[in-house]
Structure 1
């Protein structure tokens, strides 16, 4: 199980070099390391947890619902990136924020 969990927080705006070198080469977060395997995409992490551990499922099991959930997560990912970019840009002007959100 996941009895021995170590959460390592890193700066999203200034990721340490070791993260890309030793954990996940693309530098994306989050990443999960378990039994020597590193998974670095959110949806892949959820699917891995469903496969490796018992308990209630995180992801839908039915193929149609699984596709809908996957498509929804991929779509919302664009908004999360734009929102983070807008919030993390120092001295962002309203037009820059609007551009990040595509308005």
Structure 2
């Protein structure tokens, strides 16, 4: 009975054991990813950077970006598409 209880306790402890979370490693990885994103955004043309900033950081729709920039909607869509392709390539993301 005692062995069975011990075995149950060990089984429960093994199931509940989680891998320790490496907070420092996670913070470093997040910071490095942020630096890479900033570097890649700096690699965009000014027009692409404005459109990406308004759409993805400002939360504007494509139409709102076009109105804000005073540019035709198809032009803004092209800038965003080209900018996102450049960002994807810079970040090393495979399609």
Taking structure 2 as the reference length, what is the TM-score of the superposition? 0.29
Higher fraction of helix: 2
- Taking CA–CA contacts closer than 8 Å with sequence separation of 6 or more, which of the two structures ends up with the larger relative contact order? 2
Please give the TM-score of this superposition, normalised by the length of structure 1: 0.27
